[in-house]
Amino acid sequence: MTSILVAQDAPPLLLHVLRLADTALVLGHRLSEWTGRAPMLEEELALANAALDYIGQARSLYDYAARLDGRGRTEDDLAYLRDTPDWRCWLIAELPNGDFAHSVLRQFLVAAALQPYWRALAASRDATLAAIAAKAEKEAAYHLRHAGEWVIRLGDGTDESHRRMTEALEDLWPYTGEMFEADAVEAALVAEGVAPDPLALRPAWEAMVARVLAEATLDLPAPCAWMQSGGRRGVHTEHLGHLLAVMQHLPRSYPGAVW
């Protein structure tokens, strides 16, 4: 089956919407992998609900992207018929779950970035994006609160839980810089009042992260001279290919099948 391509020089709005959609869907898929494996029933339900939130966001964004693309494609086409280089998600989203500490810390770091972003995007001049963002901001607020409580509980818990949180922080921190990158796509949309400047939102993220890590008795990592990057341009880790092979198996094996 031929991959559906969205060119790097596609209109900025389309690329921006795909970046948001891809990140949301990959995060939703990763969280769904905890179903049946979470440390307790309440957390299995909480993570499954968060996964559904992300997948719902992705559906709304893919639907909008398909309309912007204007070539008769559907949200399913964009989710299931693009190969790895065509995806534009944050690298932190595609990393394997690791242990529970790793997953809840990623959820916290991402939600701390997404909540202020969605809040700012709700004031977008693009009415569709504003409506999606207004709903997503409420969901991100819950994700942030839930994950933040677990970061504190595990960081300030036993020696073992503290060790695991410290290791997770060391592993994930180099991937956080990409969440605030701004390129020509963002610049064009910021100038039009369509999207917020991610760099302007970083101080709020840093303040939230510093507060929660301090309460969790975890050391704030020193600034990195170099951060992992490339996901929004289609340059990914090897993990995304494996994830897509699972997620896209049915629609690729049975083209046109419907439930």
CATH code: domain of residue 58: 1.20.1260.10
Residue 127 covered by a domain = yes
41 is a domain residue: yes
What's the pLDDT at 7?
A: 67
Q: How far is Cα 45 from Cα 54, in angstroms, rounded to an integer?
A: 14
What was the pLDDT predicted at 225?
Answer: 78
* pTM of the shown model: 0.94
What is the tally of structural domains in the chain?
1
Residue 6: inside a domain: no
Q: Domain range spanning residue 73?
A: 12-253
The pLDDT value given to residue 1: 45
Domain-embedded: residue 7: no
Asked if the structure places residue 5 within a domain, the reply is: no
Q: What is the mean pLDDT of each run of 10 residues along the chain (259 residues)?
A: 64 96 97 91 92 97 95 91 94 96 97 97 97 97 97 97 97 96 93 96 96 97 87 94 93 83
In whole angstroms, what is the distance from residue 239 CA to residue 246 CA? 11
pLDDT of residue 5: 64
**Res 10: pLDDT:** 83
User: Is 163 inside a domain boundary?
Assistant: yes
Residue 40: per-residue pLDDT: 86
The alpha carbon torsion through 142, 145, 149, 155 (nearest 10 deg) reads 120
Position 226 scores a pLDDT of 86
Q: Is 3 inside a domain boundary?
A: no
Domain assignment present for 19 = yes
